């Protein structure tokens, strides 16, 4: 692969750079203890909240709904997830729901993320290309020390991955050809969509993203341009 042509690395974030499942579970646990004591496992709740993520974005991507930022979808999905587990969100003060919704702003990076990104930044432009909105990514980066050069992604592109516009508008903002950009993700579907748009691709194995029983995205499904076990390993590959 002609890595010398690549000028920017853009990253999926939820699952690839940060551990959303344990972070959301940590934030949800005291809430669930108050509103459904002893009834709902916090990790199961995190999975359930996340299960509404793709369908909620599809409403936007299909054109049934104008673009709204992920904070708005997360807030709606939180109410749906609560109903799923038998908690009536109408019985919870809105301020508590708003506070819990910020769980996604306070996720911890995987142990290799900050160091790997810092090394990659010395040679490449690094930016999230996440479906998370700008303020969400900003809060997360400020708390965790993620050293992004800029915050790109769905809100800047006004389109959610995996629609082509999310990748192509990001290339346009960067003033680069798609082949000068590498998408870094732990998800085969994200990389497949990026490759369709002409981007380079790097797969990061994150076998614990979905917990101990993970069955998806354990292995690369195409001959991605790079396959690594961590962002440190990606830096070993791409930076002296």
- The most distant pair of C-alpha atoms in the chain lies apart, rounded to whole Å, by 57
> What does residue 218 show for φ and ψ, rounded to 5 degrees?
-80, -25
Residue closer to its own copies (CB basis): 36 or 72: 72
Asked if 182 interacts with its own copies (CB under 8 A), we say: no
Residue 63: how many CB atoms within 10 A of its CB?
A: 7
- Stretch in the footprint of its own copies (CB under 8 A) among 77-85, 150-158, 195-203, 225-233: 150-158
Q: Which of 36, 85, 97, 138 binds its own copies (CB under 8 A)?
A: 138
Judged by beta carbon, residue 155 or residue 232, the one nearer its own copies is: 155
* Residue 9 binds its own copies, judged by CB under 8 A: no
Please tell me whether residue 125 adopts helix, strand or coil conformation.
strand
| 226 and 35 Cβ atoms separated by less than 8 Å | no
Q: Which neighbouring-strand residues pair with 200?
A: 182
Contacts of 218 (CB under 8 A, 6+ apart): 205, 207
What whole-number distance in Å separates Cα of residue 146 and Cα of residue 215?
28
174, 204, 226, 228: residue in contact with its own copies (rule CB under 8 A)? 174
Edge-first strand listing for the sheet containing 200-204: 152-153, 125-130, 8-11, 181-185, 200-204, 226-228
Site for its own copies contains 60 (CB under 8 A): no
Instruction: Choose, by CB under 8 A, the member of 152, 182, 197, 199 that binds its own copies.
Output: 152
Question: Contacting its own copies (CB under 8 A), which of 40, 156, 193, 194?
Answer: 156
Nearer to its own copies, 88 or 149 (CB): 149
Among 71, 209, 217, 225, binds its own copies (CB under 8 A): 71
Closest to its own copies by CB, 27 or 225: 27
| Site residues (vs its own copies, CB under 8 A) | 71, 125, 133-135, 137-138, 141-142, 148-152, 155-156, 173-175
């Amino acid at each position: 692969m002609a890595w010398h042509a690549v000028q920017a690395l853009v990253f999926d974030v939820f699952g690839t750079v940060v551990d959303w499942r344990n972070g959301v579970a940590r934030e949800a646990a005291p809430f669930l203890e108050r509103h459904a004591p002893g009834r709902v496992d916090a990790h199961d709740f995190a999975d359930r909240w996340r299960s509404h993520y793709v369908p909620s974005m599809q409403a936007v991507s299909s054109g049934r709904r104008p673009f709204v930022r992920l904070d708005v979808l997360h807030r709606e999905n939180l109410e749906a997830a609560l109903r799923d587990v038998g908690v009536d969100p109408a019985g919870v003060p809105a301020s508590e729901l708003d506070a819990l919704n910020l769980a996604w702003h306070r996720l911890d990076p995987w142990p290799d993320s900050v160091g790997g990104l810092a090394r990659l930044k010395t040679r490449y432009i690094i930016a999230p290309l996440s479906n998370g909105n700008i303020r969400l990514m900003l809060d997360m980066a400020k708390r965790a020390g993620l050293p992004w050069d800029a915050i790109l992604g769905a809100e800047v592109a006004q389109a959610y991955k995996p629609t082509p516009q999310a990748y192509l508008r990001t290339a346009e903002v960067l003033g680069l050809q798609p082949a000068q950009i590498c998408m870094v993700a732990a998800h085969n579907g994200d990389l497949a969509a990026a490759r369709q748009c002409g981007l380079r691709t790097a797969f990061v194995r994150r076998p614990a993203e979905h917990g101990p029983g993970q069955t998806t995205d354990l292995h690369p499904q195409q001959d991605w341009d790079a396959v690594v076990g961590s962002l440190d390993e990606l830096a070993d590959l791409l930076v002296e």
